[in-house]
Structure 1
Amino acid sequence: MTFSKALNRRSFGALLLASSAAACAPRVPDSAPVVPQVNWLPEYGPLRDAGYDLPAIPLQYTEGVNRRMEGIYTGEAPAGSIDVDPYAKFLYHVKFDGTATRYPVGVGRQGRTLSGLATIQLKKAWPGWTPTANMLRTEPEVYGSFRGGIPGGLRSPLGARALYIYRNGRDTYYRVHGTNDLDSIGNSGSAGCIRMFNQDIIHLFNNVSLPMTINIRSESESMRVDPEYYNRGRELPPKIVDPEDLLGAEAIANDKKPDLTQLAFN
Structure 2
Amino acid sequence: MLTRRRFIAASALALAAGRAAAQELVSAEAPLIEDPGPLRLNIGPQAVQASLTLPPDFDGDYEIPDRFRARVVQVAPGLVPNDIHIVPQSHYLYFILPGDYAIRYGVAVGTEGLGWHGQAVIGRKVEWPSWRPTDEMIDRNPDRYAKYADGMPGGPDNPLGARALYFFQGERDTAIRVHGTVDPTSIGHNASNGCFRMYNSHVIDLYDRVPLGARAYAY
For residues 105-139 of structure 1, the C-alpha deviation after alignment (integer angstroms, 9 at most, x for no partner) is 00110121221111111000001001111110112
Q: Percent identity?
A: 34
Partner of 1:98: 100
**What amino acid maps onto 1:188 in structure 2?**
N
Mapped partners of 1:89, 1:169: distance in 2: 28
For residues 12-35 of structure 1, the C-alpha deviation after alignment (integer angstroms, 9 at most, x for no partner) is xx96xxx9xxxxxxxxxxxxxxxx
Contact 2:79 2:100 in 1 (8 A): no
Unmatched segments (≥5 aa) in structure 2: 1-31, 39-44
Q: Say what the alpha-carbon RMSD is for the aligned residues.
A: 2.3
Please give the TM-score of this superposition, normalised by the length of structure 1.
0.62
Contact 2:114 2:193 in 1 (8 A): yes
1:2 aligned onto 2:15: no
Partner of 1:129: 131
Higher gyration radius (CA): 1
For residues 158-193 of structure 1, the C-alpha deviation after alignment (integer angstroms, 9 at most, x for no partner) is 110000001132000111000021121000111011
For residues 179-237 of structure 1, the C-alpha deviation after alignment (integer angstroms, 9 at most, x for no partner) is 021121000111011000000000000001111100001xxxxxxxxxxxxxxxxxxxx
3-state SS of 1:148 partner = coil
1:63 aligned onto 2:65: yes
3-state SS of 1:65 partner = helix
**What amino acid maps onto 1:109 in structure 2?**
T
Partner of 1:224: none
Mapped partners of 1:149, 1:197: distance in 2: 22
Match of 2:194 among 192, 195, 199: 192
Contact 1:44 1:199 in 2 (8 A): no
Mapped partners of 1:57, 1:100: distance in 2: 26
Partner of 1:10: none
3-state SS of 1:186 partner = coil
Unmatched segments (≥5 aa) in structure 1: 8-13, 20-40, 46-54, 218-266
Please give the TM-score of this superposition, normalised by the length of structure 2.
0.74
Contact 2:62 2:184 in 1 (8 A): no
